[in-house]
Amino acid sequence: MQAKLKTIVLAIIMISTLMISQPVFAATPYSVVDLGTLGGSFSFAQDVNDRGQVTGYSSNASGEFHAFLWENSSMTDLGTLGGSFSFGAALNARGQIAGFSITSAGDQHAVLWNKGLMSDLGTLGGNFSSALGINARGQIVGFSTNLSNNNRAFLWENGTMRDLGTLGGAFSLASNINAGGQIAGWSETALGEVHAFLWDKGVMTDLGTLGGPTSIGSGLNAPGMLVGESDLNNVVRHAFLWARGTMSDLGTLGGVNSSASGINAAGQVVGDSDTASGGRHAFVWEDGTLTDLGTLGGSNSFALAINANGTIVGLSSNSSSEFHATLWKKIVSYP
């Protein structure tokens, strides 16, 4: 898992070279709100639903990291399965939260928080699982070790965890699920590369790449548009938007690399990018334009999710170089 905290990200060597065009940039018409912490110095917002509820995780006064639910300007600790760590990865319109937690035995298991109760979703036979996405029907996706100790994408529904298979290799991971039951993620191929996939009605489709061997599928909306990141060559990885069979490069904020994490039904995309000044900033992409969302006063910010109302969440460094869960809301100007 990557310290950038996109839940889980694989480090892959990139090859091939493509000519790319830079997007149009826009000023930042968004307010930036610090959501605070559970008493510690760090917090991270992973998802936001259309009601404005936010989930993620935060350090507490004891130095442990716990999942939280933020609503009405208040952050609530969701507890753990008995261990010292939990993570809120996704939430639906009903306020159900999917994520993972360390158990009292020290294993990591996928969990569901529902009406104040935490349920252990189990595994595919191994001792590890993580839930990363949930839809309005309560279907949950993520990844788990199986009896062969391989990480496999899963779909959990009605109390049963189902292995979704791979693109021909040993491992796969499911990152998101939409209302129609389509699933985004990535998998090892038979050639040993890692490619983004869209799973639909039992079929896992390889979405290809922007030219290199690697792509990762992260965000998925109701119409089936998918976003993530993909290699261009051995030093460059860019955010992409996949729609109707075509993967498009979203460019950067003037730097080298970028990544997309979330997309709403309107096709607004959020992610993060290197900037010309050297920092890494959250962005929102819409109709070919990348907008820099700014920070809480520090050098770096990352946008992870966007809801139907255009509210964006992620994390940002502040003037004290602490990372806090962050909410961006568009500033509405009246004539």
* Predicted confidence (pLDDT) at residue 312 exceeds the cutoff of 60: yes
Question: What order of strands is seen across the sheet that includes strand 194-200?
Answer: 168-177, 183-189, 194-200, 203-206
* Predicted confidence (pLDDT) at residue 16 exceeds the cutoff of 60: no
Asked whether 163 and 145 are in contact (CB, 8 A), the reply is no
Please report, for residues 89, 133, 182, the alpha-carbon distance to residue 201 in angstroms, rounded to integers and kept in the order given.
24, 17, 7
Q: Kindly give the pairing relationship between strand 117-120 and strand 125-134.
A: unpaired
Q: Which of 94, 88, 92 is nearest to 110 (CA)?
A: 88
Per the DSSP assignment, residues forming a β-bridge with 186 are 173, 196
Q: How confident is the model over 105-133, as pLDDT tens digits?
A: 999 999 999 999 999 999 999 999 999 99
Asked whether 269 and 227 are in contact (CB, 8 A), the reply is yes
DSSP 250: -
Per the DSSP assignment, residues forming a β-bridge with 130 are 143
Asked whether 264 and 221 are in contact (CB, 8 A), the reply is yes
Q: How confident is the model over 129-166, as pLDDT tens digits?
A: 999 999 999 999 999 999 999 999 999 999 999 999 99
* Predicted confidence (pLDDT) at residue 179 exceeds the cutoff of 90: yes
Q: Which of 202, 220, 206, 5 is nearest to 133 (CA)?
A: 220
* 74: its two tokens: 């208040």
Confidence of residue 15 (pLDDT cuts 50, 70, 90): very low
DSSP 29: -
State the CATH architecture for 32-320.
7 Propeller (2.130)
pTM: 0.91
DSSP 322: -
Report the alpha-carbon distance of residue 262 to residue 250 in Å, rounded. 13
Domain ranges of the chain: 32-320
Q: How confident is the model over 254-297, as pLDDT tens digits?
A: 999 999 999 999 999 999 999 999 999 999 999 999 999 999 99
* Predicted confidence (pLDDT) at residue 235 exceeds the cutoff of 50: yes
What's the confidence (pLDDT) of residue 24?
Answer: 53
pLDDT over 90 for what percent of the chain? 88
Q: Which of 203, 215, 212 is nearest to 239 (CA)?
A: 215
Report the alpha-carbon distance of residue 202 to residue 205 in Å, rounded. 10
Q: Which residues contact 9 (CB under 8 A, 6 or more apart)?
A: 1, 2, 216
Q: How confident is the model over 44-66, as pLDDT tens digits?
A: 999 999 999 999 999 999 999 99
